[in-house]
Amino acid sequence: MSEAPLTDSPILVGPAGRLETILDMPRGVEPIAAAVVCHPHPQHGGTMHNKVAHTLARAFARQGFAVLRFNFRGTEGSEGQWDEGRGEVDDALAAAHFMRSAYPRMPLWIAGFSFGAAMAIRAAQREPFDGLISVAPAVSRFQADPGLQPTCPWLILQGDADELVSADDTIAWVNSLAPGPELAVLDGAEHFFHGRLVDLREIVTTFVTGQLAGGQA
């Protein structure tokens, strides 16, 4: 499904007020599943327009998903204020609740990049999802509860040249989880995956396709 998706900006009211959104939908067909994508750190310029977040959204959309990106509270036009990674998890769950309501009989995935990956992990510890994608998860700064591991199919994608999130720390953390998520390490990729976004998209697409084919989505 390579055709550009349809886009909309539905109204989403989170716990701190209205959140800006972008909803990508497949053209001409009903979605087969839904996903929420969480953007990187809003205090360091992260928004739903980030290239990695956009790439994640397009990877899902190519598989026939309806995909919601949103700006965390206090980011660009979203209402509220930065809450140091606490209320932002509630924002992610509000986005998930919106998608569950809009697509009630469909599988729901959640994904995120960097700070957004940590928020997505924490959201998946609090509520069930059908799949989880974590790109360069900033788990050392926003540690999720190690005793509450998400139980859904889970991919972690990490660049081995990441200058902000240590690949060694991510690998050690994944190895500490039992059973651990699937880990893909992209050789030579730094934090923002400059020049490697196509590779990132294909790894995510392969994982999602495999889960769909296996009936686990």
Tokens of 97: 């609740």
SS3 82: coil
CATH superfamily name and code, 6-213: Alpha/Beta hydrolase fold, catalytic domain (3.40.50.1820)
Tens digits of residue pLDDT in 172-217: 989 888 888 999 999 999 999 999 999 999 999 999 999 998 865 4
**How many whole angstroms separate alpha carbon 208 and alpha carbon 194?**
22
| Spatial CA neighbour of 61 closest among 22, 9, 102, 117 | 22
**How many whole angstroms separate alpha carbon 146 and alpha carbon 39?**
22
- Which residues lie closer than 8 Å to 116 by C-beta, 6 or more apart? 37, 38, 39, 40, 46, 53
- Which residues lie closer than 8 Å to 174 by C-beta, 6 or more apart? 156, 180, 181, 183
**How many whole angstroms separate alpha carbon 8 and alpha carbon 15?**
22
- Residue 28 is predicted with a pLDDT of 86
Helix axes 197-213, 51-62, angle to 10 degrees: 30
**How many whole angstroms separate alpha carbon 51 and alpha carbon 88?**
20
The angle subtended at Cα 174 by Cα 69 and Cα 191, nearest 5°, is: 50
**How many whole angstroms separate alpha carbon 209 and alpha carbon 55?**
16
**How many whole angstroms separate alpha carbon 56 and alpha carbon 182?**
17
pTM of the model: 0.94
Spell out, as residue ranges, where the chain has pLDDT lower than 70.
1-2, 141-147, 215-217
CA 166, distance to chain mean position in Å, is 19
